[in-house]
Amino acid sequence: MLVDHDTPPPDTLLHWRREFPILDRCTYLISNSLGAMPRGVYDNLRAYADAWATLGVRAWGDGWWDLSGQVGDKIAPLLGAPPGSVLVHQNASIANSILFSGLDFSDPVRDKVVICDLDFPSDVYVLRRWLPEHARLHVVKTHDSISIDTDELLDAIDERTRLVSLSHVLFKSAYVMPADEIVNKAHAVGAQVVLNGYHSVGVIPVDVSASGVDFYIGGVLKWLCGGPGGVFMYVRPDLLQTLEPKVTGWFAHDKPFAFELEQPALRDDIYRLMTGTPGIASLYAIQPGVDIISQVGVEPIRAKSIRQTSLIITLADRAGYAVASPREAARRGGTVTINPPHAYEVSRELLARNIVIDYRQNAGIRIAPHFYNSDDEIYQVMDAIAQILDAGSWQQHAAGRSFVT
């Protein structure tokens, strides 16, 4: 046993556990990767199948056509966005493509796009493909593999900057970037900001209206328990008409059923950013998770998350494991990355023991409790790591590495 278990405080959020079937089957500490599935998804997918089976093509008129925006409206309050400003797409790579393809890069003096080297690579892949020839990426580098120096970042945002594209919470370390300072500096020099909210919405409070951020894109599959196939894309309402996306499709067309071959007149509302037929099944599956998170409320989720991530850090410190996440609670998202000896092999043995976490190269084991996890589960994973190291059972995983959890 690694430590004596302290008496846990009463945890009223634990009654939500019964809504998530997987919690009865394993120790699920990986909501930074894929949040647990709410049991309500069974009903929603049945409703989808029923609509398809009984209404057939008429289902488009009975709600399917507008579902991407309706689900966007359901997600919007969780990021402080007004109705009509959020649209759901299949993934962030597509949402970024739509955005980057629609930005006006024509000012030759604004030739700089600021990113950092701890951003999610897919954001950068897409950005590189859309960067016009005269523009260049300015990569602000980390000094500690956990965070980005705020002064260096703000200094990099200058009068030549067209766009700042950063994660709100960094995916490897869960460092919370100073979003308000970034937006204020960018706006002061005439630049725009897109933030990746994959690791923020649902686990830390986000208010895009208060911050004035220009664009905000994140996924539902992690902290919103919405499953694969859904990201939300927020555009500040006054900027919508400035976007002329090259990645487009007939759902964005003002008169989609005119079937004209001319340049499309794009819609004036958020559907301006649509492409083609959306994945309707995902739009059904997303909703129970979003409903639950909305009911629970992000404030209590954040309070519990800070308590449990602090507990992980305390236990890691006692055991002498390196911690690769911020120690300051205000700068830490929902995940703690720890790097015990033989971290990769230990992570494989944890999975073999039905304790579900993940491992990221050059970072370590990511442990991500959500509002449905108990403190006992935190002790369980930390005790298991100590036991795996003591007994040497990590050694059976020493041959062959796979980076897919």
Residues contributing to the site for ligand PLP (CB under 6 A): 91-93, 120, 122, 167, 171, 196, 198-199, 219, 231
Cβ–Cβ < 8 Å for 210, 185: no
Angstrom distance (rounded) from CA 124 to CA 257: 36
Please state the closest distance from residue 171 (CB atom) to ligand PLP, in A. 4
Q: Which is nearer to ligand PLP, 2 or 137 (CB)?
A: 137
Q: Which is nearer to ligand PLP, 122 or 361 (CB)?
A: 122
Q: Which is nearer to ligand PLP, 380 or 405 (CB)?
A: 405
Radius of gyration (C-alpha) of the chain in whole angstroms = 22
The backbone torsions φ and ψ at residue 237, rounded to the nearest 5 degrees and listed phi first, read -50, -40
Q: If you write DSSP's letter for every residue of 255-311 in order, what string do you get? A: SGGG---SPPPBPSSGGGG--S---HHHHHHHHHHHHHHHHH-HHHHHHHHHHHHHH
Q: Which is nearer to ligand PLP, 96 or 397 (CB)?
A: 96
Q: Which is nearer to ligand PLP, 199 or 253 (CB)?
A: 199
Please state the closest distance from residue 170 (CB atom) to ligand PLP, in A. 8
Cβ–Cβ < 8 Å for 29, 373: yes
> 255: buried, middle or exposed (CB in 10 Å: 19+, 13-18, 0-12)?
exposed
List of residues 6+ apart from 316 with CB closer than 8 A:
322, 323, 336, 338, 340, 382
Q: Which is nearer to ligand PLP, 93 or 101 (CB)?
A: 93
Please state the closest distance from residue 93 (CB atom) to ligand PLP, in A. 3
Please state the closest distance from residue 232 (CB atom) to ligand PLP, in A. 11
Please state the closest distance from residue 290 (CB atom) to ligand PLP, in A. 16
Please state the closest distance from residue 71 (CB atom) to ligand PLP, in A. 16
